[in-house]
Structure 1
Amino acid sequence: MSSSHLDQRIVAVKPLTVPAPGRGVALQVKVTAPLSGANLPVIVFSHGNAWSMDGYEPLADRWAAAGFVVVQPTHLDSRRNGIGWDDPRFATIWRVRIADLHAVIDGLDGILLQAGGLGTRVDRERIAVVGHSWGAQTAGALLGARVLDADGVPGEDFSHPAVSAGALIAATGTGDSLTPFAAGHLPFMRPDFSTMTAPALVVAGGKDQSQLSTRGPEWFTDAYRLGPSPKSLLAIAEGEHTLGGVAGEQVAETTDEDPDRVALVADAICAYLLDALRIDDAAWTALHNAGAAGDGAWRVSTK
């Protein structure tokens, strides 16, 4: 990414309310966008468990500076709503999360209007979804992934026709290796990637050891391995679950604080989406070349 992108002035507007009947709690979003530019592509971002629209600023700001309009909803599992794992509402939050992303995309015109007239500057034919951790499973549903029931039968198709591509950061893998706690409390964590046909970049850390799985860090590459082409994988050897701190600077959940790693994740997703949305392939090609010529700290694979 060129330095001119990083010098781009951006603006953030929040909270904006999105129509979501029957949700119980108002659906609010934050919009981050460049101050100038036209035909801007859109990223709808789904946060990890307990976070909100106020997290992930290192990603959202960098994407906006590169020319994306970033829309971040606050899901019901946000810690500000106080819905814990033992709350009876928790079992269906995964569905509400997916509905949140649909509501954002379907209500995009209203969101852009509230955000200061961005509607005339956005290209509605170029919409991507991105998510981290639980948010990656949420975003994956709009790309075509499904959830298997206890008998291994795939559930509903939640894909959205307006979504052209996406990126999944630390996406949990298949449910055949869940710990007893995860199997009992998180039955929705049984993704089926075989129907995830939309183009997607999977970002995985080589030291991301989940307490929810009996497998190692390769669990987080399942979306790439099992998803049909076209798929790409950014594997970061020393990355842990927050990939250097994607949720924010010096947050408690970050175990591998590394601003350069966060910048790599942000820029790689930006480069991938610019290519996948047919805007510009130069940055993605450059990233491929840099990974191939690098020291093995990270690599890019495609299929």
Structure 2
Amino acid sequence: MGIWDRQEEYAGLPVFRFDLERLDPETVADLPALPAAGTAAWCVATREDEEPFGDVWDLFRTSVDTTEVTALLIGDWGAEYGSGEQDGSYPAPILAAAAESFPKLESLFFGEITAEESEISWILHEDISPIFRAFPGLRRFDVRGSAELAFEPIRSDELKVLRFESGGLPASVVESVVASDLPNLEHLDLWLGVNGYGGDVSMDDLAPVLSGERFPSLRHLGLENAERQDEIAAAVASAPVVARLESLSLARGMLTDAGAEALLSGQPLTHLRKLDLHHHFLTDAMMARLKEALPGVEIDLGKQGDPEGSYFYVHVAE
């Protein structure tokens, strides 16, 4: 699933959408019956210029036994994307205030908003720190969009998956991630994006992750969607953290033969279970070399761009 598609599954559960249609007494009788609370990943959403997110949220809480909910997606909350203004419905404090009603919540996707609803770089955030403080038991946390996104470094023994989907990830976000104490984090994805949409992460910012000094339990690392994907590949080629990874993703970016050559010339990658390079600008000859050099590794080389073209681009920017 990409940013153009609604999630059909999250945290191993089918997604059930609880949106503003539930507020309409004339149509609610024709909507699907609500499943048992613990059998679905619940997506709560409204739309821009429609009913306030808080109204849908309140109905959700009174309609569903939230004490059994383990997975939650916060979709479109009706903000004026790209305007620089929020309407008071930013879900982070709303969700945090209801924390006692969600004692079993383990997985949270914050900003499950498709490109049709809003371009990823127009999703306007605020401080998401209240979520981490209110839900110390989260094991998985996904965030889409990064405009004005901020949070304080966190400490959690429970968090295993942390993902940031972005068209331009600010260095301040990576700094907070690196400063966080997450001894059991196994899966980290950072969509770095492009400078034009706020992606100003430097190799120095990534150094504590690549050196292996942070996140001792890390088994998957994704440094994706980057215009400087070749430079990242070269750094990864000698990064100590790679030796303990099971999977590595440099997908969605502007990877060319130069970056792939750096990977092949660096430390062995034959221990990896999977190497994800999809959406790239590699030549056919380089793709063949990668497959030959890593015969036991599952390599995703889908979505090949024109390596001789005049325009390279990341998969997700605006």
TM-score normalised by L of structure 2: 0.33
Q: Which has the higher strand share?
A: 1
Q: Which has the higher helix share?
A: 1
The structure showing larger relative contact order (alpha-carbon pairs under 8 Å, at least 6 residues apart) is 1
